Amino acid sequence: MNNQLMFTTIGFFLVIAAVNSSHFLGGTISWHVQNSSTSSTWVAILITQTYSWTYTTGKCENGAIAAHQPVPSSGGTLTCSPSCPAGFGSVSATPYCTDVSPLNGIVVGQRSDIVLIPEGSDFSVIYASDAWGSLTLGGYGWSISSHINLVNRSDNGMLNHAPVATIMSPIIIPQNKKTLMTISVSDADGDTVRCRWSTNLNGVDECGSICPPSSLPANTVIYPNCTIEITGTTAGTRYALAIMAEDFITSASTTPLSTVPVQFLVEIMTSPSCSILPEILHTGKSCTPIKVNETFISQVLAVNHCGENVTIIDIATLSFSGMTQGSLVKLSSLIYYKTITWTPTIDQLGYQVMCAMALNNQYAQSSQYCFTFFVTENGTDTCPGVIDNTITTIPSTTILMTTTETSTSTTETSTSTTETSTSTSTTETSTSTSTTSTAIQIVTSDCINWPLIASLGALALLATAFDNRTPQKFISKFHYPNRNLFITSSNQLSTSVEPLNIDQNLGTAAFSNELRSTINNQTNIKSTSLKRSISSYETNNQNQLVKHRKKKLSIKQEIKDC
């Protein structure tokens, strides 16, 4: 490498001209290098901007999405402060329409630009403006900052790839209920990813006028695993959240390799008359490897748990360029779906994350559900570094059991409603290393059996999946994983499914019977293999239910003997 052409570290900031309107709903900026092992002194990086805006009539309708039209009333040009590195050029901030949900009032746009800059550059990109609209705390201004570091990594000598962080906006949560919101995060290098609040320190403005915690309700907490705990006490209030996701070489590292922002709105609403939220269903792979120019077709399903008087009116999405979706189809009062189709292009290499959220006619949202695609040019069977971040509420009388295991298999994790907390994000991911935290409440006695307590902690998630009767006295609160169903492009239901959630008003048999009945009446998704898969699905769950009940009886007997 020619040292005369090497650039020393460059510090600068990227600024966008203000957009004078009150329709911004949040967004994120991520980036990755086009060739991490390049020997050139110049590096091509792809900067991807994703922003959400308030929907207005005619804005980003399906025709505009198909035609790849820009989002109206958005824009600006990226400039650099104090100066741009050589070769940076002019980068627009106007995204192209990717998603629209008039009933949710959301428009999503994304754009990706390749810039050629010197190796060794170390800088922050900032999207700054003042169009949040009316917030309960904080001002109108935002500043979204992403740190780009093109210094070779110390562990492998290659250039780093930034993580990808995704969450939909706005998130609507019920009044006076503690809510957990999980940000979907993936990292192509398999690095440790941690989240923190955005700050306005060290010369980098990461949050504008919405810097936490003063911009948020009291006792709002962010955990390093990218989960936020929040409680809104007043209906009609709106808050903007600003978070940074950072990747580290190891879990012990304290200096991040890069930083990506994610900002979004939270709105507080009165609890609907039916307190059981709608649900997005999926049991396919949490991360799907896909090759450039290979077409992906599937259905995203939503479930209405509130009876015929309540209906699903939309499945909103946050996706990326080229993803198309059909109209909402009602299979029955219980099940609705949308068909999605996507053929990735060469400029979409790496991770692409799609999120979906169901909305009913009481304007209650489901938990956000995100799933990931890993795009390669030549094809692969694995996703190298998708990270799932979930956390459970820890009451004062509980302990936290944490286990870590290394495996090459797929790990699927779900978080959903308990009597004291409502999850608004469900993310399933595959990773080689997984950490699971389970909150369990222990009744103090003269006989403490710590190995048994650890066994109870490990059993808690399985218990929630198959038995709606909480083990009296021993485990008083735990999270039910979502009931998930996903029809793949081959019209087959995956038999490698996670346990069903036993809902208070709908058991496994009722759900399976309803699903079979509605699918059998739909010729467009009917197949013999699908029917076989449903039967296998039921059998697998029944077998696991029997094993679970035997194990629980054994544990209860051991406790009694103790």
What is the token pair recorded at 42? 């110049």
**182-196, 213-227, 424-438: range with lowest mean pLDDT:** 424-438
- Which whole number is the average pLDDT over 81-108? 86
The string of pLDDT tens digits covering residues 376-386 is 888 887 787 65
Answer with the residue of higher pLDDT: 405 or 281: 281
Contact partners, residue 415, CB within 8 Å, separation at least 6 = 180, 182, 367, 390, 391, 392, 423, 425, 426, 479, 481
Residue 388: which of 89, 172, 182 has the closest Cα? 182
pLDDT band at 155 (very low <50, low <70, confident <90, very high): very high
Pairing outcome for strands 287-291 and 368-376: parallel
488 vs 283: CA distance, rounded Å: 9
Give CA–CA dist 539/536, Å, rounded: 5
Range(s) within the chain of domains with CATH label 2.60.40.10 = 8-271, 277-562
Mean pLDDT of 297-311: 92
Count H helices and E strands in the chain, helices first.
4, 34
Q: Which residues of 64-85 are buried (b: 16+ CB within 10 A; e: fewer)?
A: bbeeeebbbbbebebbbeeebb
pLDDT for res 385: 60
Residue 370 CB neighbours (<10 A): 27
Q: Which CATH number fits domain 277-562: 3.30.70.270, 1.10.10.410, 2.60.40.10, 3.20.10.10?
A: 2.60.40.10
The C-alpha angle 380, 381, 382, rounded to 5 degrees, equals: 95
Instruction: Pick the closest to residue 302 from 314, 284, 285 (CA basis).
Output: 314
pTM: 0.68
Cα–Cα distances (Å) from 168 to 25, 418, 537, in that order, read 9, 22, 31
pLDDT above 90 covers what percent of the chain? 42
Topology of the domain covering 8-271: Immunoglobulin-like (2.60.40)
39-53, 79-93, 511-525: which is most confident: 39-53
Is the model's pLDDT at 338 over the cut of 60?
yes
Query: Predicted confidence band at 123 (pLDDT cuts at 50, 70, 90)?
Result: confident
Contact in structure between 282 and 302 (CB atoms under 8 Å) = no
